[in-house]
Amino acid sequence: MKYKKGTLFLWILILIILIIYYHYRIDNVKIKTLNTTIINIKNEIQIQIKIQNQIRHELFMLEDKNKVSIVLPILIFACNRNTITRTLDQLLKFRPSKTQFPIYVSLGCLESDIEKSLHFYQDEITILIHTPLSYDYNSKISFSLWGYYKISRHYNWSLTQMFGVKKFEAVIIVEDDFDISPDFFEYFHATYSLLQMDPTIWCISCWNDNGLANLTINDPALLHRSDFFPGLGWLLSEKIWHELRSKWPDAFWDDWMRRPDVRLGRVCIRPEISRVYTFGVDGVSRGQYFEEHLSKIMLNIRFVHFKQMTNSLMGLLKKNYDPKFLNDVYNESETITLASLLRKHPLELGREPLNQRLKDNRLIKPSYKIIYHNQLHFEKLTKTLGLMSDYRGGVSRTSYLGIVSFVHRGHKLHLIPMMQSILYE
C-alpha cells in the first residue's frame, strides 16, 4: 500500500511538472508569437509612413510640375512717384522668366508724366491706365483721406482687369515704393501650391510687420502662418478675388481685408525676413510708422531655393503646423515676466551691425512666453520690446492663434493672451 501510495504521489508530481512545463512552454510560444506580431505591426507602420511620405512627396512634385506652366503676373500699382523705376529695375533684374512672370504696371493718377518714363521699359512690361475720380468738394469725405478712396478704387479696377479680363489664375501685388529681394519670384512660385492645398490659407505675403533685425532670427528660409493680413507684396488667387470683388470697399482696402467678417478665420503665410522693403516715406499715409518702424524692417538679401524645400513647405499646412506650434508655445517655453526677462536679457542699445547679425541664425534655448492680461498690457509689452502694438480687426500684427512670436536677444519669445476672450473680440 505504502509503495502504491508513493508511486501515485510520484505520478501526480510528474503530471503537475508536465502541466507546468507545457503551460510555461505554451506561454513562451504565445509571448514569442506576440513579440513577432508587435515587430511585424511596427514594421508595417514604418512601411506605411514611408509610403505616405512618398505619396505626399510625389503629389507635391506633381503640383510643382504643374506650377512650371502657371503664369504668375506681377501687378505694380503706380501713381505719380518716379520711384516706380527703382522697383521695376529690381523686379526685372531678379525675374527668372518673362513669360512666366509678366509685369503689369497700373497707372492710377492721370496728372503724372510717369507714363513717359515707362517708355524705356516698353518691351518688358504692359501698362494699364485707370482713370481716377476727381475729388468732389461737396462730398462728405475729407480731402486728407481722399487718397485712400483713390487707391481702393484703383485696386478694384486693376484686379478686375487681371482676373476678369485677362483671366489670370493668381496675381502678385506690388506697390511703387518697394525694393525687392533676389528670391522674390522663387518665394511666390514655391508657396503658391500651399494656397491650393490648404483652404485655411487665403494669401501669401512676403512681409513681416515685425521684421526688424533685433526681432528676427537670421534664417531667411523660415516661414510662418499669420492671422494678420500683412499685405505689402502678396499673392491673391482668382478664387479669393471672386469672393471679394462684389463687396470691395470704397477705401482702406487693407484694413477691410483684416476684418473678421472678410477674413473668415483664414491665414496668410509670411516670412521671417521680408522679401520687400518699403522706402515710401512720402505716401498717402504720410509716413505713419515710417521712421520708427517701417524703415527698419530688413529686406532679405540671400536667395533661398524654396522650390526644393518640400518638407518645410508642407510644415505650413494647418494639420502639420498647429501641433508643432502649440507644443513650442505651451510645452517648450518657460513662462517669464517682462521685468525678469529684461533682467536676464536687457534690451539692445541701438542696432547691432548687420555682419554681427548674420552670424546668429540659430535660436538660443530656452524659449520664453509672457502671458498678457489685456490690450493695455499687450501694448506695454510690445512698445517696450519694439514690436508693432496696434490691433486691426481685433488681430495684432503677425499673430497666430492670438500669439505673437518673435525673437528677443536670440531667444524665441511668445506673447500669449491670458484668456481666449481677449482674442479677436
Active-site residue list:
254
Report, in Å, the least distance between residue 282 CB and ligand UD1: 7
Spell out, one character per residue from 10 to 29, where the chain touches ligand UD1: x when CB under 6 A holds, - when not. Answer: --------------------
Q: Does 109 bind ligand UD1 (CB under 6 A)?
A: yes
Nearest of 234, 286, 273, 283 to residue 257 by alpha carbon: 234
Distance CA 327, CA 320 (A): 12
Complex with ligand UD1: residue 130 or 225, whichever CB lies closer = 130
Q: Within 290-319, which residues bind ligand UD1 (CB under 6 A)?
A: 294
Q: Within 282-311, which residues bind Mn ion (CB under 5 A)?
A: 283
Distance CA 123, CA 370 (A): 54
Complex with Mn ion: residue 37 or 285, whichever CB lies closer = 285
Complex with ligand UD1: residue 151 or 195, whichever CB lies closer = 151
Report, in Å, the least distance between residue 132 CB and Mn ion: 17
Q: Does 249 bind Mn ion (CB under 5 A)?
A: no
Size, binding site for Mn ion by CB under 5 A = 3
Q: Does 63 bind ligand UD1 (CB under 6 A)?
A: no
Q: Out of 102, 108, 230, 271, point to the residue binding ligand UD1 (CB under 6 A).
A: 108
Distance CA 217, CA 210 (A): 11
Report, in Å, the least distance between residue 140 CB and ligand UD1: 19
Report, in Å, the least distance between residue 232 CB and ligand UD1: 6
Nearest of 212, 162, 248, 121 to residue 408 by alpha carbon: 212
| Cell of residue 343, nine digits | 533682467
Sign of CA dihedral 243, 248, 254, 255: negative
Q: Does 397 bind ligand UD1 (CB under 6 A)?
A: no
- Count the neighbouring beta carbons within 10 Å of the beta carbon of residue 262: 17
Q: Out of 147, 280, 393, 394, point to the residue binding Mn ion (CB under 5 A).
A: 280
Q: Within 255-294, which residues bind ligand UD1 (CB under 6 A)?
A: 278, 280, 283-285, 294
Q: Does 151 bind ligand UD1 (CB under 6 A)?
A: yes
Q: Out of 88, 91, 104, 154, point to the residue binding ligand UD1 (CB under 6 A).
A: 154
User: Coil, strand, or helix at residue 425?
Assistant: coil
DSSP code string of 371-385 = EE-SHHHHHHHHHHH
Complex with ligand UD1: residue 341 or 387, whichever CB lies closer = 387
Spell out, one character per residue from 165 to 184, where the chain touches ligand UD1: x when CB under 6 A holds, - when not. Answer: ----------xxx-------
Complex with Mn ion: residue 290 or 303, whichever CB lies closer = 290
Q: Does 232 bind ligand UD1 (CB under 6 A)?
A: yes
Contact 383, 246 (CB under 8 A): no
The phi and psi torsions of 341 (rounded to 5 degrees) equal -60, -45
Q: Which does 408 bind (CB under 5 to 8 A by kind): ligand UD1, Mn ion, none?
A: none
Q: Compute the C-alpha angle 62/66/70, nearest 5°.
A: 155
| Cell of residue 170, nine digits | 493668381
| Cell of residue 243, nine digits | 469672393
CA of 207: how far to CAs of 38, 195, 383, in Å? 49, 17, 20
Q: Within 329-358, which residues bind ligand UD1 (CB under 6 A)?
A: none
Complex with Mn ion: residue 44 or 291, whichever CB lies closer = 291
Report, in Å, the least distance between residue 409 CB and ligand UD1: 28
Q: Does 254 bind ligand UD1 (CB under 6 A)?
A: yes
Distance CA 382, CA 218 (A): 21
Q: Which does 151 bind (CB under 5 to 8 A by kind): Mn ion, ligand UD1, none?
A: ligand UD1
Distance CA 32, CA 284 (A): 77
Q: Which does 78 bind (CB under 5 to 8 A by kind): Mn ion, ligand UD1, none?
A: ligand UD1
DSSP code string of 322-366 = HHHHHHHHHTSEEE--HHHHHHHSPPPSSPPPHHHHTT--SPEEE
With a CB cutoff of 8 Å and minimum separation 6, the contacts of 227 are 263, 267, 395, 399, 400, 401, 402, 424
Complex with ligand UD1: residue 79 or 223, whichever CB lies closer = 79
Q: Does 176 bind Mn ion (CB under 5 A)?
A: no
Distance CA 148, CA 161 (A): 20
Q: Which residues bind Mn ion (CB under 5 A)?
A: 177, 280, 283
Q: Which residues bind ligand UD1 (CB under 6 A)?
A: 77-79, 108-109, 147-148, 150-151, 154, 175-177, 231-232, 252-254, 278, 280, 283-285, 294
